[in-house]
Amino acid sequence: MFAGMIRVAALIAVAITGLAGEALAAGACRPTLDGKDRIERSGACPSGYYVRGACCESFQASSQRAAPTLGRKTCPAGTVASLGTCVAAK
Digit-coded pLDDT (tens) for 38-77: 889 888 898 889 999 899 999 988 765 555 555 656 777 7
Q: Which residue has the higher pLDDT, 62 or 19?
A: 62
25 pLDDT higher than 60 = no
Burial 42-52 (b: 16+ CB within 10 A, else e): eeebeeebeee
Closest C-alpha among 67, 37, 64, 66 to residue 52:
37
Closest to 26 in 3D by CA, of 47, 54, 6, 58: 54
pLDDT over 90 for what percent of the chain? 10
State how far the Cα of 69 lies from the Cα of 83, in Å rounded to an integer: 9
Query: pLDDT at residue 22 above 60?
Result: no
**Which residue in 1, 56, 5, 60 sits closest to 35, CA to CA?**
60
Structural domain boundaries of the chain? 1-28
